Structure 1
Amino acid sequence: MERRQINPVAYPNITGLWGFVRSLSALLQPASAPLPDSEEDLNWMDASLDDAYAGRSTNTLYRLFESVKKHHPNSQIVSLDDLCFDLSGFFASKNATEDVLIGAQFPKQHVMLTRSEKVRNGRNFDRIHHEEETYQCAQLERSLRNGVFEVDYESTHFNIYQFHWTDFHTAMRAIYLVFDGEDLTAGTKLVQDVYDWMENLKDEIWVFDQGWRKDKDMYHVVQSADWKRIVLEADMLHNLRRDTSVFFDSEDAYKSLNVAWKRGILLIGSPGNGKTEAIKAIIKDASVPCLYVKSFKSPRGPEFGIRAIFKKARQSAPCILVLEDLDSLLEPMTRSFFLNELDGLESNHGILTVATTNHPENIDQAILNRPSRFDTKYVFDLPSPYLRQKYINMWLLKLESLGIGVNGDQYASREIFGEELSLRTEGWSFAYLKELFVSFQLSRAALRSTGVAAGDTTQEIFQHVETLGKQVAMGGSASAGEPDIALSDASLRTMRMAHMGR
């Protein structure tokens, strides 16, 4: 695909506000226009940008628009101030898949380098690493912070200006699409196409982290989920799948009862007992969009972030809204705002909110126990001996598929060894059990690389049990020193009994 080489204006070293203003003045020259011959020709732009960036302007957006308009008096201009408007992502997707983008290149002006999200996403969501997982070196992505670039889109040539600044500690952004034409049709069409692209998911999941974005890597992580590999009590597993699948087929039932078609499910339990794996399976099975929230923070504060999250959920409904680690997302100052969005006057019609927490004691009782917020709660306890043995047998079968059998003389069968191993791992979470087998395989691979013959499989595994058991014991001691949680043991038992009897 042919790319147009534009004539970028170099972004000089900036010393002080005046240097910054003069630099932006240079950036506002169109790529094809020469610099003015006289210094007086820049006075109007210097003054407007000086006022805007020094805070003397009462309307920075207007002053910047006025500056651009004065420099392009005969052109059409479409302006936006949407922090989430993903123009660069849209152009990148078109460049990769369709022959409608003739050329797009960011000039070397005020360009920022950031670590690629593609390296981080899988780790953030899939906290327990897969043994077959491979890691990439950190990649850097370039993005234009302040400047201008050119692009031809659907037979129209655009000069696109972009600026970022701060007003009263609030992040601001301005985009100006400058083009020739009889009216605003071409610019409006480009804006509409970007928003349409932003709304449509193609093997992606919506993720909120300082703003909404589409995430392909998280989507592929979710595709590895399988209910068959999630080890829970049969009734709990059945009820969890039912509650998250039947909801979207029950709109008429909610209407007949004259109640709002919304639901909240809270997964409670210490880390490593299957909450995240259950979330992944729920998302994979869903026939509706999923919105995953990493943080309530946004460039305009957490209240703005919460508002943007629920606004997007209402626009996407019916949908699943996932709030993982709810106790860490909430802060005292945002509690009331969150409650109003979750269960206030605005309709959350068609939204299934699924949240997890490792520390229910840190969640306000108004959120934890009031009906219509989180109506259903599932407790993910440490696995029972039966569940530990079931999980262990899954791993022993996997080892056999890799050619590593239970070859010790002490145990007559894999099942007998699995039973003994489950007894020796009392108090272990699924995460520690997984680590047991991963560490065993890594040590086997290390021995194999040095030419050392493998020993008794059972004894090697028991050695790893002894090593990891010390970590489990240390974790238990730390937990023992924590204050009593607000959600009492009696309450947890009531929840378990209620779900088992549903």
Structure 2
Amino acid sequence: MDTSLFTRPFTYLPVRPKQQNHRVGSPLEEHFINITLDDTYDALSARNHPGNKIGPSEEWRKHCSSNREDTDTFLTTMLREKYPDYSLVVTDDWQVTILNLEGVAWKPLDGVELQTHVAFIAPSRRDQSGQVARSIRFGGFDLWWKEERFIVFVASWSSGFGITTQHFILKEGKDETASLGLLMAAGYQSGQIGDSVLVFNDGYWQNDYALWEEIQKADWKDVILSPDFKQQIQSDVKNFFASETVYHELGVPWKRGTIFLGPPGNGKTISIKALMKSSQKPALYVKSFRSWMGEEGSMREVFNRARREAPCLLILEDLDALINDENRSFFLNEIDGLENNDGLYILGTTNHFERLDPGLSDRPSRFDRKYTFALPNRDERVQYAQYWQRKLKDNKHVSFPDSLVEKVADLTVGFSFAYLKEAFVSTLVSMVGAHDVQFEKVLVKQILELKKQIGNSDTMPILGTTYSF
């Protein structure tokens, strides 16, 4: 085997409708090959295909310059003619990344020009430089996998309202078994969630590795809620995933629906992150059902994938925005219709529980449990102040006595956890670069300013965190 083979990650533009090119927040770099310019010089300068007067790249260029034809049929016919002693397997599954398959080694095919498009990928932070990457339009590769040699062609072209990308797998002999095994392995690997959260948005699933890393930072110790409340949430999820046999013995569907409700800023999101980490189950997160396939098509895709990944967590944030009069009936059928939803723990959140249709909020077997994340009571405000007291104990510029803990708890009646956090963060920001300032005075000033913003007063009721079944 040639020692110059590539084994580094290699990805390329998928088959997606053109709308996908404008998705916000999509990690664009995942859709491009990651090779240096030096890697491609030989392939880009290749023109002559050994043993043929006209090589595959010339045939491809000729085809693309002519009147529109059936590109799939053209490429299939052309490759069969040029490799008559090879079997040919053709796939157009954009999720399959054969060149990225673990254990694969490859190099550009001699005599075939590698035709690519170049794009600048902006950095994730402004102190980074970004990178230049190439996407494949046409290329051929010598590829080795499990001691078997393959020739793989990749072609991408405009088709209707989208881009089509196809892989053509050639194997010497007429037996397609090895090629199908290669395709099966690549397809299986591309469908794995791994160390990521599977996020659905604009009609597509995407592995979000950055979100997974953020979730790994979550810790129930940092969730300032009633100990009994936190324990109930954790036990509910843990017991569900551990009780498959019990559900089946009782003859009831092994599924669960839970709603986290209450005003914003009171711990719903951080609790979800902690649950996603502690459950150690695949997590699927839905941002929106709106897409090119329509909301019902998106719902079908979401639940089909969730059933495939079960047992898993399916997170539906802001239920009141996701579900409307037009799609509600279809959504309810997906939850408790004829399909098998075994292993699905569906966790929905809402800041406006009163807006939910009774078919969602009150009907048994859909969302069975509801946890209310209300404004923190005094004890929880004390806990939150103590949390910051511990964080700042080694800061020589901050004096945080126990008396200040009590004072903060008394002054912040009606504050959400988000407003409590803002009080501490804005205080610390105000102290940056300042001289001879007292932490307590600045903190109290910030609290009073925030009370004005939310129209607060000491006569507001003290609300606690509750849960219902």
- TM-score w.r.t. structure 2 length? 0.75
Cα distance in 2 between the residues matched to 1:254 and 1:299: 38
Task: Note the residue ranges of structure 2 that are not aligned, 5 or more in a row.
Answer: 7-45, 458-462
| Whole-Å separation in 2 of the counterparts to 1:243 and 1:271 | 23
| Cα contact 1:77–1:184 (8 A) shared by 2 | yes
CA gap of 1:465–1:212, structure 2 versus 1, over 3 A, is same
| 2:58 maps to 1:76 | no
Give the residue type in structure 2 aligned to 1:287: Q
The answer to whether structure 1 residue 198 and structure 2 residue 190 are counterparts is yes
3-state secondary structure, aligned to 1:177 = strand
Tell me if structure 1 keeps the 8 A contact 2:255–2:341.
yes
Pick aligned residue for 2:440 from 451, 458, 464 = 458
Q: 1:343 aligned to 326, 331, 336, which one?
A: 336
User: What residue identity is the alignment partner of 1:397?
Assistant: R
In structure 2, C-alpha distance between the alignment counterparts of 1:331 and 1:137, rounded to whole Å = 42
Checking the alignment, whether the CA contact within 8 Å between 1:79 and 1:174 is kept in structure 2 is no
Specify the SS of the correspondent of 2:327. Answer: helix
Contact 1:82-1:173 at 8 Å conserved across structures: no
Partner of 1:295: 288
- Give, in whole Å, the separation in 2 of the partners of 1:136 and 1:84: 32
Q: Is the 8 A contact 2:121 2:132 kept in 1?
A: yes
1:287 shift after superposition: 3.2
Matches within 5 A, 1:79-478: 79-87=90-98, 90-91=100-101, 94=102, 100-103=104-107, 107=114, 109-111=116-118, 119=124, 137=128, 139=130, 142=133, 144=135, 146-150=137-141, 152-154=143-145, 155-163=148-156, 165=158, 167=160, 171=162, 173-182=164-173, 183-209=175-201, 210-297=203-290, 300-406=293-399, 414-447=401-434, 452=435, 454-473=436-455
CA contact 1:111–1:146 (8 Å) conserved in 2: no
Match of 1:50 among 68, 75, 99: 68
1:370–1:107 CA distance, 2 compared to 1 (3 A): farther
Tell me, in whole angstroms, the C-alpha distance in 1 between the residues paired with 2:133 and 2:152. Answer: 19
- Taking structure 1 as reference, are residues 149 and 46 closer, same or farther at Cα in structure 2, changes over 3 Å only? closer
> In structure 2, what is the Cα distance between the partners aligned to 1:289 and 1:43?
44
Q: Counterpart of 1:176 in 2: which secondary structure?
A: strand
Mark the CA change 1:74 to 1:189 in structure 2 (over 3 Å): closer, same or farther. Answer: same
**CA 316–64 in structure 1, closer or farther in 2 if over 3 Å, else same:** same
Deviations, residues 354-411 of structure 1 (Å, cap 9, x unaligned): 121223344333223222111111111121222122111111221113344426xxxx
Task: Let me know the Cα RMSD of the aligned residues.
Answer: 3.8
**Which range moves more in the overlay, 103-112 or 194-203?**
103-112
Q: Which is further off, 463-472 or 384-393?
A: 463-472
For the pair 1:498 / 2:468, whether they are aligned, the reply is yes
Please state whether the residue corresponding to 2:371 is helix, strand or coil. strand
Identify if the C-alpha distance between structure 1 residues 83 and 51 changes in structure 2 by more than 3 Å, giving closer, same or farther: same
Q: 1:215 to 1:356 in 2, by over 3 A?
A: same
Contact 1:114 1:141 in 2 (8 A): yes
Q: Secondary structure at the match of 2:346?
A: strand
Q: Letter of the aligned partner of 2:89 in structure 1? A: V
Letter of the structure 2 residue corresponding to residue 152 of structure 1: L
Matched-pair contact (CA < 8 Å) for 1:111–1:145: no
Residue 135 and residue 467 in structure 1: after superposition, are their counterparts in 2 closer, same or farther (change >3 A)?
A: farther
1:189 to partner: Cα distance:
2.4
Percent identity of the aligned residues?
Answer: 31
SS at match of 1:355: strand
| Matched-pair contact (CA < 8 Å) for 2:316–2:348 | yes
Runs (5+) with no aligned partner, structure 1: 5-29, 53-59, 120-133, 408-413, 477-491
Question: Take 2:467 and 2:209, find their aligned partners in 1: how far apart are those partners?
Answer: 39
- CA distance in 2 between counterparts of 1:360 and 1:141 reads 47
- Alpha-carbon distance between aligned partners in 2 of 1:82 and 1:460, rounded to the nearest angstrom: 59
Conservation of the 8 A alpha-carbon contact between 1:399 and 1:405: yes
Comparing 61-70 and 313-322, the one that deviates more: 61-70
- Return the structure number with greater helix share: 1
Secondary structure, aligned partner of 1:428: coil
In the aligned structure 2, how far is the partner of 1:202 from the partner of 1:43?
Answer: 39
In the alignment, what sits opposite 1:2? 4
Question: If the length of structure 1 is used for normalisation, what is the TM-score?
Answer: 0.71
Aligned residue identity for 2:426: S
For residues 65-120 of structure 1, the C-alpha deviation after alignment (integer angstroms, 9 at most, x for no partner) is: 456656655543322233433446x35xx4xxx6x42447995524555557xx4x
- Compute the displacement of 1:35 (Å): 8.4
Change (3 A) 1:428 1:85: farther
C-alpha displacement at 1:269, in angstroms? Answer: 1.9
